Chain A
Amino acid sequence: MKKTITYLGIGLFCVALFACEEAFIRDEYDDNAVDIFNSMWTTVDENYSFFDLKGIDWDAVYEANRPRVENGMRRDSLFNVLADMLFVLRDGHVNLQAGFDLSRNWDWYLDFPQNFDYTVIERNYLADDYEITGPFRHRAIDSIGYIYYESFEDDFSESIVDYLVTSYASRINSNDDTLIFKGLIIDVRDNGGGSISNVNTLVSRFADERRHVQNWQYKDGPGHNDFTEPIKKYAEPEGAFQYNGPVVVLANRSCYSATNFFVQIMKNFPNVVVMGDSTGGGGGLPINRELPNGWTYRFSSTVTTTVAGENIENGVAPDIRVDITDEDKQAGRDTILEEALELIGQVFDEQINGGA
């Protein structure tokens, strides 16, 4: 009898273990306004990476906004509360997306001069005689290669970038000593970022050697300063040809995210000068999360620093600061591009004279 009860007990235990996960696996929050608010506040609190850099008191943000939330409130009112809370982070990588609106803080470029007008570039510099190779628009201006890249979201192949750097390689025709190209200008103004794998491909054509270019840190705990040790990142020469002539990268405040990475990495190479305005920033990789009502949001969760340890979240300063002047704007001239053309001309002349 005792044995029978034991076996029966074992059998019932085994059967009971089937299909009982419903008791354990549950949503962390319910779909109501207070839970939605708490879900977002807590997730950002435990994962956002720039509280200390920006001096943000996230607890104070909770105290200020929590009283504005009550269950049963209108969806758009709740959206506005959450958007106000995220606005405090002053981060272009932070957005709340509902079906009817996208929250954002774009002060990183709205509070600064634009320093770029593509109409001027298209009509007065590219004109009719330019090539479109993948996402790149390019031509030679005064024997200097000019490449405009609008967005790192636009992918390109290895062969395209090989073609570009080879085409504008700084060299002299050996047959008749005529100059072909003095250098290269890469214009990434108004490039708001995109895929960092495109950054990887592009910078590899300018790397003179395997070079330590930046450091990454990941969040590894819920505390505001819980980060991994810095992980060194290296740029390495790749592709058929490495461009070693003079290069000027043109930047403005609308350079963000992947473009911010690109400009910062290019600054490490000895033949590259960054000209124009500071980039807009965006030095943390954004991650996505969801709310119990189906809205999604994203925020930065890593830290990127230069080799010297400077955080690039708030932008990368240019080597040579140039703004477009009002006179040039009226005259349809791009001051920054003109300065870049002049600089490459000077550098090339110095190299020729120095070499002679």
Chain B
Amino acid sequence: MNLRSFLVSFSDRLSGSLLGRITPPWAPFSKGELHSFLKLPNVFILKKEITFLLSPFFKGGKGDLRKIITYAPCLLIAFLILSINPAQAQDKFRSFNIGAGYTLPKFFDESSSSLRYQGHAFSVTGGFHFRKDSSVLDHLDARFDYGQMSAFAFEFADVNYFRTEINYSYKKRLRNIWQDRLQWFVGGSFNSLWMLWNFENYTNNSQNNSFYLSLSPASSLVYPFKLWNRRFRAEYAAYLPLLTFAIRPSYGTSRLPGFLDDERDEPVAQFFESGKLTSLNKFFRYSNTLSLEYFLTNRNRLRLSYEWNYLRYSEPRLVQSASHNIVIGTMFNF
């Protein structure tokens, strides 16, 4: 067997397996085929052919390594995208989800500091997902982050970071797009977000509490597919709050309700009274989530998700925060 016939044979087996027709690509060649291929002249020819094919891209030297690092993931992704097949519509599915992951949080808050803070946090997530015959997505998700942050001016972490978000969304399928491969869901979501940045080196203004309750339009693009005869489901979900009740620290100093009695002994009521109803002109938040679910044989699923979240609120002083969050978890069917 020469090089060309070997490559043709491999290519046939690969495409055939991905289309579900014949044996998968990792099915071994016969002993005779391999022996005949691995004859020394063929190996030299293989090297020559590869060198010829890659010569426009790789010219030798350090630049090649950079190119390999850059292009290899792209080629891998392209390979995966080209390899996948759209799958059948989803069944009815109910799951209880748990997961853990990592968050890269950042913030800038004029009411606390003129510096930008960045850090690392540990995340735990939980939730219930109800999906009805590919027509309804009914999701309740919660996420808690704890971590430490510092400004670049400081050598040590001096802000403790706490974040809790509960997000309920209900979306119905609007239509299928991209030749029925992609399912487009639209609906609404209700989000509550609490963030606490605790400045260890501060005294009376050490606790920077924020609380946001938002109503948002939400949308999802769902792409069920098969890869290597395994079932997967990819989803892109996003929401953009239009109406938000936002509670932020007062202009300069955190209120100290613990010192003496205030005129009113109703700290919870006072906390909510300090909030404001706001909309896109002053409060902008956008959340993107990409998730990939892998179907296990026992109807449970593994889920890998990545979320990018950005928030900007200009009252009483500008605050901006963002986070990158990656979580891996299990969806227990029930």
Contacts and interface: CB of A to CB of B under 8 A. Distances in A.
Interface of A: 3, 7, 14, 17-21, 24-29, 31, 39, 43, 47, 196-197, 199-200, 210, 213-214, 218-221, 226, 228, 231-236, 265, 285-294, 296, 298, 301-302
A302 B288 CA distance: 40
Nearest to B254: A287
Given A17-B288, A25-B116, A27-B108, A218 B252 contact: yes
B203 A200 contact: no
A302 B306 CA distance: 43
B115 interface: yes
Contacts of B272: none
Interface string B198-221: 010111111000000000000000
Given A21-B320, A221-B251, A234-B262, 16 more contacts: A14-B288, A17-B286, A19-B308, A19-B324, A28-B110, A28-B115, A196-B259, A200-B260, A218-B253, A221-B316, A236-B261, A265-B260, A286-B203, A288-B199, A289-B113, A290-B153
Nearest to B261: A234
Nearest to B257: A231
B310 A24 contact: yes
A213 B112 CA distance: 30
The 5 closest A-B pairs by CB, nearest first: A21-B322, A294-B153, A219-B252, A28-B114, A288-B202
A39 B251 CA distance: 17
A168 B206 CA distance: 38
26 contacts: A19-B308, A19-B324, A20-B310, A21-B106, A21-B308, A21-B322, A24-B322, A25-B116, A27-B108, A27-B116, A28-B108, A28-B114, A47-B251, A47-B252, A196-B256, A218-B250, A219-B251, A220-B316, A231-B263, A236-B260, A265-B260, A287-B204, A287-B252, A288-B203, A292-B115, A301-B253
Contacts of B108: 25-28
Contacts of A221: 251, 316
B230 interface: no
Given A14-B236, A232-B262, A290-B153, A218 B110 contact: no
Nearest to B113: A290
A235 B237 CA distance: 52
A27 B154 CA distance: 13
B140 interface: no
Nearest to B318: A28
Choose among B199, B201, B310 the residue with the greatest number of A CB atoms under 10 Å from its CB: B310
Contacts of B106: 21, 25
Contacts of B312: 24
Nearest to A29: B114
A200 B324 CA distance: 43
A234 B203 contact: no
Query: Taking each of A18, A21, A214, A288, which has the highest tally of chain B beta carbons within 10 Å of its own beta carbon?
Result: A21
Contacts of B256: 196, 285
B56 interface: no
Interface string B143-171: 00000000111110000000000000000
A219 B110 contact: no
A120 B316 CA distance: 52
B293 to A, nearest CB: 19
Interface in B239-293: 250-253, 255-256, 258-263, 286, 288
Contact of A285 (B113, B154, B204, B288): B204
B251 A220 contact: yes
Interface in B104-157: 106-108, 110, 112-116, 151-155
A341 to B, nearest CB: 31
Contact of A292 (B153, B253, B286, B310): B153
Contacts of A19: 308, 324
B178 interface: yes
Interface in B22-80: none
A108 to B, nearest CB: 19
A28 B324 CA distance: 22
B186 interface: no
Nearest to A230: B263
B308 A197 contact: no
Given A17-B308, A292-B114, A218 B153 contact: no
The listed residue with most A CB atoms (<10 A of its CB), out of B152, B177, B252, B262, is B252
Q: Most A CB atoms within 10 A — which of B236, B261, B288? A: B261
A218 B257 CA distance: 13
Contacts of B250: 218-220, 228
Contacts of A20: 310
Contacts of B260: 200, 213-214, 233-236, 265
Given A25-B106, A27-B115, A39-B114, A197 B263 contact: no
A16 to B, nearest CB: 10
